[in-house]
């Protein structure tokens, strides 16, 4: 099998695996980064969202063969101490219920705030529409994104 090189959470990694293995499984099974969750495997629920060169993507849809020369950030790499404004706001707004979808939502929200530092409800709804929360915490999620936006604007 070929060896693939990728940058993950700012560090170089070499992965020896099937080129068609989804990045999600590389992260979880080979690199032991289990914060990124498997939800549907079809790229429609958002639980597996990571950043690829700063853009949110569904890692279940990316084969290892497509990762060369790209940089990825997982929920574990979003901030060194779990203190990204979105992570803090998620706790402060008590967004998580079962928590399964939350890492993907936080990754999507963090990307949103980079492009829309002061998002409207419509911006949030549009950006987060690819994420399914089985517990229905959408209103708390929206409040958390607004809270995180306020913190980002102070910085």
Express each pLDDT in 4-15 by its tens digit. 999 999 999 999
pLDDT higher at 153 or 72 = 72
Same domain membership, residue 98 and residue 51: no
69: Cα separation from own chain's centroid: 19
User: Range of 111's domain?
Assistant: 85-154
Which one of 77, 112, 128 terminates a domain? 77
Q: What pLDDT is attached to residue 1?
A: 75
**Domains identified in the chain, total number:** 2
Q: pTM, whole model, 2 decimals?
A: 0.95
Residues 71 and 122 grouped into a single domain: no
pLDDT of 66 over the 80 cut: yes
Domain boundary among 77, 111, 133: 77
Collapse the DSSP code of 55 into the 3-class scheme (helix H, G, I; strand E, B; otherwise coil) and give the result.
strand
- How far is residue 87 from each of residues 53, 72, 79, 129, 154, measured CA to CA in Å? 20, 18, 9, 19, 16
Residues 96 and 71 in one domain: no
Same domain, 15 and 36: yes
Task: Please list, residue by residue across 58-78, b when 16 or more beta carbons sit within 10 angstroms of its beta carbon and e when fewer do.
Answer: bbbebebeebeebbbbbbbbb
Judge if 30 and 89 occupy the same domain.
no
């Amino acid at each position: 099998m070929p060896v693939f090189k990728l940058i993950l959470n700012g560090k170089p990694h070499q992965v020896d695996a099937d080129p068609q293995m989804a990045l999600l499984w590389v992260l979880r099974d080979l690199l032991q980064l289990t914060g990124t969750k498997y939800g549907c495997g079809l790229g429609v629920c958002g639980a597996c969202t990571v950043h690829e060169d700063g853009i949110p993507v569904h890692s279940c849809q990316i084969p290892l063969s497509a990762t060369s020369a790209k940089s990825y950030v997982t929920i574990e790499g979003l901030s060194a101490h779990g203190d990204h404004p979105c992570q803090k706001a998620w706790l402060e707004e008590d967004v998580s219920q079962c928590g399964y979808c939350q890492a993907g939502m936080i990754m999507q929200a963090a990307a949103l705030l980079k492009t829309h530092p002061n998002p409207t409800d419509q911006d949030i709804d549009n950006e987060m529409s690819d994420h399914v929360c089985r517990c229905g915490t959408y209103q708390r999620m929206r409040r958390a994104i607004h809270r995180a936006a306020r913190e980002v604007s102070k910085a």
